[in-house]
Structure formats: structure tokens, C-alpha cells
Chain A
Amino acid sequence: MSYINKPKVAHPSLPTNSLGMTRRQYEGTMSTLCAGCGHDSVTAAIVEACWGLSLQPEQLVKLSGIGCSSKTTAYFVSGSHGFNAVHGRMPSIASGANAANRGLTYIGVSGDGDSLSIGIGQLVHVIRRNVNMLYLIENNGVYGLTKGQFSASADVGTKAKRGETNSSPPIDPVLLALTLGATFVARSFSGDKAQLVPLIQAGLRHNGFALIDVLSPCVTFNDHEGSTKSYAFTREHYHAAVEADFVPRAAEISVDYAEGESVAVSLHDGSRVILRKLDPSYDPTDRSAAYRYIEQKLKQNEYVTGLIHIDETDNTEFHNLNRTPKAPLNSIPYEKLAPGAAALGKLMERYR
């Protein structure tokens, strides 16, 4: 962990967002993760993304399960409520919290152990339920807090620090989410902040469940030779298919994109994602094609990154299907919820 406490006073020259807030004001408590942990880079990307979106800190809700990744919700946006749930069960907390108040922005941070083993049932069902949230998996292929056991995302043939080789096939969260009909599926790398920040911003603004699988190496237990989740291996084998630029609502598109290579997708709130296809044959709006492409590249040991699939036409978001009013359920006055004495009197006739 880093022992350097940052000064509380912000220098006047620090840039501010449209709320007049500095990046510093989107940080949380000091990280207790190992120095060089990929997760800390993801935390930094979340800070940058929230600052860039000018999110009101209190409008964000941070949720997590148990594990190294799940600790990180304490390390960003200290002005937001956070909930560190039990192992693998963050999705149910998120589902309930989101049901109670649809007006807030929900970010869940999980890990490969939390999401792909103990919590895979809840992950599967939160996708199916299409809860409006951004779900980040900080994926490093190992259990860190219990000292380096393989997780369910460990690749066949990858070597543990103590030398044993994994022989069980991995579960890929991206393929899983595509199968289940998720409408926003991305993969990134903790070491690629330029790619990750706009993905987080777009994911937060997507109306529905958004999954980002972030390859986030564990420097202590899975960064050695023979590991397929190390920094070195990931850098060599990751392959960006689609880069996404996030353009907030009301902002101008200021970059010139070459014709035919870019597609603008409007998000629910009026902001846009500009998708730059690095592989011209790739179509991120075609779920089946995306699935085949990712699967094929995985077989070649390549992690395809970027915004792998997006569908902004989908209308199955939980509250949309439930026909919940715009006003959060937790804000509806009691008088509107209880039918009253007269109605009860009338109802009694049904039971005579």
C-alpha cells in the first residue's frame, strides 16, 4: 500500500469540472492494496470518469462484495454511500437498492472470485433482471486475500506462483454476459486508462446493465512468468477491436473521425459514444457476431478489448418493465401507499 497522505488543500490551479470540483474531491480513503495493484489503476480511472462526468458525489452509490476488488469502493468518491456486502452477493444488494431508488447512479465493483465463483448465480440474474448499473469485474485470475489460489477465470495452462498449472477451463465474463443478453459489454485493461475511462463513463450512462471486465493483474500472486494474467502477458495479448470515446450530453464532437470507421451511438441521457472500429469487420451492435469474434480470439490467446457490444434500443431495463414511476419508490409519500380505513372496510366484504 501507499503511505503517502495527500494534502487536503487543493491548489487553485487544479482543474475543476462543471461543478467546480477537482479530481481530488472524487477520491476516497487511502488504498490498502499492494503497491502496483491493477485495481488501484481502475480506482483512478473511476475517479477520472466521475470527475469528467461532473457527477454529484451523493448521486452515486458504490456497491461491492468481498475481496481485494471489493475493498476499492472505499477508495473513490468518499461523498457517496458505499455498501460492502457479503461475498458474491453484491448484485442482490444492488437490485434491491436500485428498486428502492431508480434516480441514483449505481456502480458495482467485484472480482473474478466474487463474480465468477461464489457469486455467479447473482451475476447471471442481475444481468437477466437488467438492473440499471455499471458492474466492473477486476479480473486477475487469483484469490488475493487468501494468498493466490486460482479463480474461475484462470486460463488453462497458466501457472500459479508456487508452480502448479491450472487445468480447468476458464469462465469468461464477457462471453457469459453476451449469452445472457447484456446490452453493454466491454473489456479493458487496468493499464490502459485512456481506453478504460470513456468505457466507465459510457457504462454509467447506459440505461440498463453494463458490464466491464477489466484485466487487472495481481502483482503479488499472479504477475510472474507463466501467468496469463500478468502485466507482461496482458500487454502482449490484448487486442482492441473497438475504441470508444465518450461525448457528454450537450458537448460537441470535437475530433475528426475517418468516415466508415466510426459509429456514434446515442445513450439514454443524450450523451454519445463514438465507436472507432480498429478491426473494420467488427460490428459491436451485432451480439452473435461479437460472441463469435471474442470466442475465436480467445482461442488464439487474445483478449479483445473495447466496447464489445452495445444495444441502446433495448427497453427491458428493470423499472421500465415494472412500470415504476419516475419518482423513486422511496420518495413516494406514505399517504399514497396505504389505502386507508375506508378501503379496508370495503375490502372486508370479500372475506365474509
Chain B
Amino acid sequence: MPSVMAEASRVNDFVIKFANVNGTGSASANSLIMKAIFRMGVPVTGKNYFPSNIQGLPTWYEIRVTRDAYVARASHVDIMVAMNAETYSKDIRELRSGGYLIYDSTWPRNALLQRGDISVIPVPLARLVNESFDGARNRVLLKNIAYAGVLAALLDVNLDVISGLLNESYGKKPKLLDSNTKALRLGYDYVKEHLTSPLPLHVEPMEKTRGHIMIDGNTAAGLGCVYAGATVGAWYPITPSTSLMDAFKGFCERYRVDAETGERNFAILQAEDELAAVGMVIGASWNGARAFTPTSGPGISLMNEFVGLAYYAEVPCVIFDVQRVGPSTGLPTRTQQSDIMLCAYASHGDTRHVLLFPANPEECFYMAVQAFDVAERLQTPVFVMSDLDIGMNDWMCPDLKWDDAYKPDRGKILSKEEIDGLEKFYRYLDRDDDAIPYRTLPGISPKAAYFTRGSGHNQWGAYTEDSAEYQVVLDRLKRKFANAAKCLPKPVLTGKGSSAVGIVSIGSCDGAIREALDVLAHQNINVDYLRIKAFPFSSDVEAFLKSHSTIFVVEQNRDAQLKSLLTLETAVEKSKLFSILSYSGLPISAQPIIDHIRAKLAEFPRVTAVPR
């Protein structure tokens, strides 16, 4: 039974939130607890709400223990681990009635006892740690591990599992292992001696995480680039995309360095800015390497001029947009899906681009590979539209799998033999009547040479300012884009497709929507759901829009960008589309979707969602 409606049993179904100060090393304690619960076979999801800062500002981490394996953020908190005095009042307000507040009672705070509908659990963490350890920094770090011990006792998290995790982290550093184990026991033993445990909200072992991993989307995408055979990565550091290149680098150092010679089968260029980063990708792709750049909204803005060149000169390139909150610098460490229009039509002049929409880290891995295949097949820029929630949070995903039979689709690149067999090579000629021309790589033969330019060129690859010649190329590009949907991932339909009511969405809204569908189904409201995975839209999207009379478009931005794109690029009647928008910077949760759909359907009593 889904958590948003059920109260009966709260075993393996609750939310813990940690309120900390950033830069104090709390992340390792939080993930220690999360990973331990995961290893007990209980599905979890973790969301990190961190400031754009290095040290000293409030930061929160949220673990949702979810026996139903929901991946979205829950919109409530059951247990607050309040470790930041500065945010106490806000943190207490957020607790759901009947919830638990754990705080450091070294300094008693009467103000915390004002809410009568919650239970306060005082633990003198600082005192315990100060009595056992020396050094200011050490104490700060180990206090986090001590509260992990407190939680382990209160939630009945298996101590052996936690010890196992500590062993994996510090096995080679016995001193650190000792101090961490000791700190863990400090918290754990304090609870066992002084408090009642476990809480009614606690963890019991399950078997639901076998064959699954906890991974973030940037790591998965970086790994995808390695498996795609990318050899050149160019980037400029920007949150929240930086960890994608860090991951690529890490995997390359593991898999791409010749053990004997130390030679590296990859090149990573940290560019001077995003203008240069995408230029490097275009240069490398033009020269026959698989190349990519990870960035976020502000970087995409800077890349616009070059993206138009790549579109018009037909140079493949792969751009990961790990979206964050705009406009401008916005909230750089919070999530949004607000670059949809920016990417779909990036650059000046008539340009349209292929977009892929991963919904989770697993899809980041597979779509990274697909992005290179599509970019080279179509000889055009491809944007992978991830976001901060997918990119930087740990999600539970099925194990990533690889088929060794995979061969990269390098598209239409002529070999030396093929060039030799031609009377003459023309770069932009539609020889196969599929709107995709042939390209050649430098270094092959003088016969393969052509001149790449963003200024007017005709189908033979020569400079032109002739209207008719210019239009021949521009019209072919339009046909190429129209055909593109055929080689892109198809949308995913949930439901029988027979309801009059539908949801259309993209990317990381998926978890919240699936959870909402479950809840609505229990209330006998059955809604079909189409998750779009790519732009240009396939005919399936057009058919879904046609066959549903009331369609909710769920997305995480203020201006309903997906809805705009649907009205521009399909024949849908605008009046059928209703936006459900979330743009707070926090990942979307199920409740507002449920509320919105119920309210809207109540307005239109005759529009009934048929039972499945």
C-alpha cells in the first residue's frame, strides 16, 4: 500500500531528514545509513539539498525508506535529525505530526519541546564524542558517525551491515576504522542504555534490492560515455554536471590506461569556458572521435553559437545538460527541467535539435550510449536532458547490463576504399534519399577533402550565396529532423490507453507520477501516462494526444516548456492540455500531482477516467 495514503504500518516506510552544516562531513554518515538499509534488502531513495557553498551553510539530506520502491521525494518528514541549531525552528516545523526529533542535547534547548505532537529524542552527541576523541575537526566528523549509531539503534539497522560498510571504506586505514567504529558504538550504546528502541518506524529486512544498485545519474552517464567508446571529453566546471566528467575520468583511469606503457586511450580537456568546451567536442567529432561535453543551463547559453554551426555544418556532438534552477545563476544546487526550449531550438537561425530525456540514472547510462549513436547517425548535436535530481542523487536502479555484441553506429563515414570508388565526393548530397549525407574524415585521401563552414554551402559542399542552392540544403535538414524520430527511443505508455484522461511527462517526474498513479488507482481514478523519451516527438506521442480528451502535462519549470513544445510540434489542441508544474527547486513529489488531478477532474465531472 503506497505510503502517501497508508498509515497502518510504518515499518520500512518512512522518511528521515538530516539537517546539517555543510562542510562538516555529514554526507558520509548519511550515506552510511542509507546504504546499510539498502543492504538489508529495503528500497531507499536519497535526496541531497545542499547550498552553493563550501563550508558553513545549512544542508539537508533526506532518506526515504520505501518498501514499495518509490523513487520520488516524499513530501513529508517522519524523523528529523536536527544537527544545525541555525535551522532548528524550520526543521521542527517540517516534521509530520507523530514524528520524531533527534537533537544534540549537550546543549538543552527548551524551544525544541514546544510542539506537543512530536516526540523529542535528546542525545548528548557532542559530549559523548568530546569525552572519547581529541581534535576539533576529528570530533566534528565523528559526531556524524555517532548519530548514525543512534539511528542504527532507533531504526533497528543491522550493526554488522554498518560495520561491513565501514570496513570497506576504512579497511586499509586501521586508525580511521577504529575511531569510526568507536563513534558508531557511542551513539548506538547510548540509545540502548537510555532510550526505548527500536521506534515503531523502523527497518525490517526484505529481499527487494537484490539485482539493484545505488548510483547517481552523472556516474552512470560517465560510465555510458566509456562504454560508448568516447575518447575525447571537453568541459568547463559547472554544478551540477561536474561529477559526470569526474566519473568519466575515473572510469578511464581504470579501464583505458595501458598497464604496460601507461598510455591513455582518452583525452580530457578542461576548457577555458563552455564556448571552447563545445568547440573542442565539435573539432574532435569532426575528426572522427566520439566526443562529448557535460554542462548545465548557463553553459548551454554560451554554447549556442557553436551548436548552430554543428547543426548546419552537420557535425555530430553529444551534450549532457544536467539542468539546474535558472534563470541566470539561479539556484545552482537545486533541480529543475527548465532548459527544454533552450535546447530544442538552441542557436540563431532555423535550428532544431534532438533531445533525449533520461528518467533515472539507469537511463543515463543507456541514453549516453544512444546519444553517440544518434549523433553520428544523424550528424547533428544531441542533448541528453538530465537534471540535478537524477545527476547528483543516489537512486536505486536495476544493475546496469551490457551486450558485448554492441557495435557503435558511426553513421555514414566513407572509408578510403569507398572514396577511391567514387568519381567525386560531395559532402552534402542526399545520395540515399534519407536526408543524411556522407561525411569523410581528415587524413584519408585528397579526394575525401571538403571544406566545413557555417556560411552558406550547397549540396556539393561548396560556398554559396545562391538562394536556391542554400534552400536545397536547409530543406534537406528539415527532412532529416522530421525523420529523426524513427531512430530515437519510443515513449513509454503506462495504462491501457483507454482512459479519457492522460498524463504526458518527461525525465525525473517519472517516479512521482508513477506513485501518483498508484494512489489515484486506489481512489478509482485511472489515468493513462505517456513518458516521452525523445524530441522530435514520435507518432506515438501524436496518437496519445489525439486519443485523450484531458491531458495533464507534468514538468518541473514555471513556464510549461514541455507543454509549449507539444503545442508547437504536434497537432494537439491547446485547450486539452493542463499543466502541473513544480519549480521550487526540490524534486517533484507525488502529492501535488494527485491533488491537482483530483481537483481538475472535480471541475469536469463528465470527464471520467475509466477503470482499467
A330 at the interface (CB under 8 A from B): yes
Listed stretches A34-42, A82-90, A136-144, A168-176; interface member: A82-90
Report A314-352 CB contacts with B as 1/0, cut-off 8 Å.
000011001111001110101011111101110110011
Contact A325 B265, beta carbon cutoff 8 Å: yes
Contact A125 B288, beta carbon cutoff 8 Å: no
B231 CB → nearest A CB, Å: 4
Contact B446 A351, beta carbon cutoff 8 Å: no
Contact A74 B407, beta carbon cutoff 8 Å: no
Measured between beta carbons, the chain A residues less than 8 angstroms from B255 are 339, 343
Instruction: Give the residues from 112 to 139 in chain A that come closer than 8 angstroms, CB to CB, to chain B.
Output: 121-122, 124-125, 129
A190 at the interface (CB under 8 A from B): no
- Give Cα distance in the complex from A336 to B229, angstroms: 9
A35 CB → nearest B CB, Å: 19
- Select A337's contact among B256, B272, B445, beta carbons within 8 Å: B256
Contact B401 A81, beta carbon cutoff 8 Å: no
Measured between beta carbons, the chain A residues less than 8 angstroms from B447 are 79
A80 at the interface (CB under 8 A from B): yes
B interface size (C-beta, 8 A):
74
Report A67-105 CB contacts with B as 1/0, cut-off 8 Å.
000000110001111111110010111111111110110
**Shortest Cβ distance from A101 into B: residue:** B287
A57 at the interface (CB under 8 A from B): yes
- Give Cα distance in the complex from A260 to B214, angstroms: 70
Measured between beta carbons, the chain A residues less than 8 angstroms from B27 are none
Given A58-B448, A89-B276, verify A351-B215 contact (CB < 8 Å): yes
The listed residue with most B CB atoms (<10 A of its CB), out of A98, A99, A125, A338, is A99
A60 CB → nearest B CB, Å: 8
Contact B226 A352, beta carbon cutoff 8 Å: no
Measured between beta carbons, the chain A residues less than 8 angstroms from B215 are 351
Given A58-B448, A89-B306, verify A101-B443 contact (CB < 8 Å): yes
B213 at the interface (CB under 8 A from A): yes
- Give Cα distance in the complex from A338 to B408, angstroms: 10
Given A121-B273, A337-B231, A343-B255, verify A89-B265 contact (CB < 8 Å): no
A59 at the interface (CB under 8 A from B): yes
Given A89-B306, A96-B283, A341-B403, verify A84-B455 contact (CB < 8 Å): yes
- Give Cα distance in the complex from A192 to B584, angstroms: 65
Measured between beta carbons, the chain A residues less than 8 angstroms from B446 are 57-58, 78-80
A61 at the interface (CB under 8 A from B): yes
Report B422-457 CB contacts with A as 1/0, cut-off 8 Å.
000000000000000000111111111111111100
Report B284-297 CB contacts with A as 1/0, cut-off 8 Å.
11111101000000
- Select B227's contact among A78, A129, A338, beta carbons within 8 Å: A338
Interface size range of chain A in the complex: 35 or more
B360 CB → nearest A CB, Å: 14
Contact A352 B455, beta carbon cutoff 8 Å: no
Instruction: Give the residues from 52 to 66 in chain A that come closer than 8 angstroms, CB to CB, to chain B.
Output: 57-59, 61, 63
Binding site secondary structure of chain A: helix
B145 CB → nearest A CB, Å: 21
- Give Cα distance in the complex from A340 to B254, angstroms: 13
A317 CB → nearest B CB, Å: 13
Contact A101 B288, beta carbon cutoff 8 Å: yes
Contact A330 B448, beta carbon cutoff 8 Å: no
Contact B309 A97, beta carbon cutoff 8 Å: no
**Shortest Cβ distance from B305 into A: residue:** A86
A335 CB → nearest B CB, Å: 9
Given A100-B287, A101-B288, verify A58-B449 contact (CB < 8 Å): yes
Contact B452 A82, beta carbon cutoff 8 Å: yes
A74 CB → nearest B CB, Å: 6
- Select B287's contact among A78, A96, A337, A347, beta carbons within 8 Å: A96
B203 CB → nearest A CB, Å: 17
Measured between beta carbons, the chain A residues less than 8 angstroms from B604 are none
Given A80-B449, A83-B452, A351-B215, verify A97-B284 contact (CB < 8 Å): yes
B262 at the interface (CB under 8 A from A): yes
- Select A83's contact among B264, B286, B448, beta carbons within 8 Å: B286
B191 at the interface (CB under 8 A from A): no
- Give Cα distance in the complex from A234 to B379, angstroms: 46
Measured between beta carbons, the chain B residues less than 8 angstroms from A338 are 226-229, 402, 406
A63 CB → nearest B CB, Å: 8
- Select A96's contact among B226, B234, B275, beta carbons within 8 Å: B234
**Shortest Cβ distance from A93 into B: residue:** B283
- Select B264's contact among A61, A73, A323, beta carbons within 8 Å: A323
Contact B443 A103, beta carbon cutoff 8 Å: yes
Measured between beta carbons, the chain A residues less than 8 angstroms from B306 are 86, 89
Contact A100 B449, beta carbon cutoff 8 Å: no
Instruction: Give the residues from 378 to 427 in chain B that come closer than 8 angstroms, CB to CB, to chain A.
Output: 399-404, 406-408
- Select B213's contact among A86, A332, A337, A351, beta carbons within 8 Å: A351
Measured between beta carbons, the chain B residues less than 8 angstroms from A63 are 283
- Give Cα distance in the complex from A10 to B440, angstroms: 28
Given A100-B289, A337-B256, verify A81-B450 contact (CB < 8 Å): yes
Contact B272 A121, beta carbon cutoff 8 Å: yes
B269 at the interface (CB under 8 A from A): yes
**Shortest Cβ distance from A73 into B: residue:** B451
Contact A352 B38, beta carbon cutoff 8 Å: yes
Contact A96 B281, beta carbon cutoff 8 Å: yes
Contact B287 A74, beta carbon cutoff 8 Å: no
Contact B443 A58, beta carbon cutoff 8 Å: yes
- Give Cα distance in the complex from A153 to B202, angstroms: 72
B232 at the interface (CB under 8 A from A): yes
Contact A122 B264, beta carbon cutoff 8 Å: no
B267 at the interface (CB under 8 A from A): yes
Contact A337 B280, beta carbon cutoff 8 Å: no
B279 at the interface (CB under 8 A from A): yes
Contact A351 B214, beta carbon cutoff 8 Å: yes
Contact B452 A344, beta carbon cutoff 8 Å: no
- Select B269's contact among A78, A129, A343, A348, beta carbons within 8 Å: A129
A24 CB → nearest B CB, Å: 13
**Shortest Cβ distance from B455 into A: residue:** A84
Instruction: Give the residues from 245 to 272 in chain B that come closer than 8 angstroms, CB to CB, to chain A.
Output: 255-256, 258, 261-267, 269, 271-272
A338 CB → nearest B CB, Å: 5
Contact B288 A330, beta carbon cutoff 8 Å: yes
B438 CB → nearest A CB, Å: 14
Measured between beta carbons, the chain A residues less than 8 angstroms from B583 are none
Contact A95 B449, beta carbon cutoff 8 Å: no
Measured between beta carbons, the chain A residues less than 8 angstroms from B190 are none
Given A100-B231, A330-B287, A351-B214, verify A125-B272 contact (CB < 8 Å): yes
- Give Cα distance in the complex from A343 to B402, angstroms: 9
Contact A334 B407, beta carbon cutoff 8 Å: yes
B578 at the interface (CB under 8 A from A): no
Measured between beta carbons, the chain B residues less than 8 angstroms from A86 are 279, 305-306, 309, 454
Measured between beta carbons, the chain A residues less than 8 angstroms from B272 are 121-122, 124-125
Given A59-B443, A99-B284, verify A332-B231 contact (CB < 8 Å): yes
Measured between beta carbons, the chain B residues less than 8 angstroms from A83 are 283, 286, 451-453
B163 CB → nearest A CB, Å: 16
26 contacts between A and B (CB under 8 A): A58-B445, A78-B446, A82-B449, A83-B452, A84-B453, A86-B279, A86-B305, A91-B276, A91-B279, A92-B283, A96-B284, A96-B285, A99-B289, A100-B288, A322-B267, A325-B264, A329-B266, A329-B267, A330-B288, A330-B289, A337-B256, A338-B226, A338-B228, A338-B402, A345-B399, A352-B214
* Interface residue ranges, A against B (CB under 8 Å): 57-59, 61, 63, 73-74, 78-86, 89, 91-101, 103-104, 121-122, 124-125, 129, 318-319, 322-325, 328-330, 332, 334, 336-341, 343-345, 347-348, 351-352
The 3 closest A-B pairs by CB, nearest first: A96-B283, A92-B279, A79-B446
Inter-chain pairs besides A81-B442, A93-B283, A325-B265, 11 sampled, C-beta below 8 Å: A57-B449, A80-B442, A84-B451, A89-B276, A92-B277, A95-B234, A98-B283, A332-B265, A337-B229, A338-B228, A344-B227
* Interface residue ranges, B against A (CB under 8 Å): 38-39, 209, 212-215, 223, 226-229, 231-232, 234, 255-256, 258, 261-267, 269, 271-273, 275-289, 291, 305-306, 309, 399-404, 406-408, 440-455, 463
